[in-house]
Amino acid sequence: MTRRAAQRHDMHWIFGYGSLIWRPDFPYTSSRKAAVRGWRRRFWQASPDHRGVPAAPGRVVTLVADAAATCWGVAFQAEAAHFEAIVAMLDEREKNGYDAHAVTLEFDDGSAAEALTYIAGPDNPSFAGPAPLGAMAAQIARAHGPSGSNREYLARLAATLLELGIEDDEVASLHAAVEAGDGMIRHTAAR
């Protein structure tokens, strides 16, 4: 579906799978857990603008196409009257490589809806792609940008997914690796 079709006036669900799930920062009337099939959440997008700087970018999540995967996140229902302004705000917030895509949401009661979500595809200049877990954890542990530290982004995502009962192996492993690195630094400093 084209972006233009995704912005039609009767569509007012917005799907978040990263920072949007804990900091939507737009007016919404309700929110609920939802899934998109065929997409996997991955820390494969460099962040030189929010959780890092151009010389030392952080890593944030995007959705990567994977026919075997389902990504759970949070869908926010916004009033149609606010939708255009919300999209304009999100276009600005997600401007580093993310494009608005129309996706089909599935809810846990079996119902479905169309939604807009922001995906940073493999052709955008900040696409970082996969890396060994330790390298990604080290990058996240170091990076800091105008929106705060990259480790805070990871910790908030891990905590919110846990609260929602959403399992994500990569998020959990990265969080454990960054925490373990912190523990080693504290241990070394105390000696």
Residue with smaller CB distance to ligand SIN, 19 or 139:
19
- 36 contacts ligand SIN (rule: CB under 6 A): no
Annotation marks residue 94 as catalytic: yes
57: closest CA among 66, 69, 49? 49
65 alpha-carbon distance from chain centroid: 14
- 118 contacts ligand SIN (rule: CB under 6 A): yes
- 178 contacts ligand SIN (rule: CB under 6 A): no
Which residues on neighbouring strands pair with residue 98, listed in sequence order?
A: 120
Q: Could you say which DSSP state residue 55 is in?
A: T
CA torsion angle for 71, 22, 143, 134 (degrees, to 10)?
Answer: -40
- 58 contacts ligand SIN (rule: CB under 6 A): no
- 13 contacts ligand SIN (rule: CB under 6 A): no
Q: Could you say which DSSP state residue 104 is in?
A: E
Q: Using the rule CB under 6 A, which residue among 11, 12, 13, 18 binds ligand SIN?
A: 18
**Residue of minimal Cβ distance to ligand SIN:** 18
Cα–Cα distance list, 174 to 131, 132, 139 (Å): 12, 10, 11
Q: How far is the CB of 98 from ligand SIN (least distance, A)?
A: 7
Q: How far is the CB of 190 from ligand SIN (least distance, A)?
A: 34
Q: Could you say which DSSP state residue 19 is in?
A: G
- 60 contacts ligand SIN (rule: CB under 6 A): yes
Burial class (CB in 10 A: 0-12, 13-18, 19+), 83: buried
Q: Using the rule CB under 6 A, which residue among 20, 36, 116, 141 binds ligand SIN?
A: 20
Which residue ranges make up the site for ligand SIN (CB under 6 A)?
16-20, 60-61, 94, 118
The set of catalytic residues is: 94
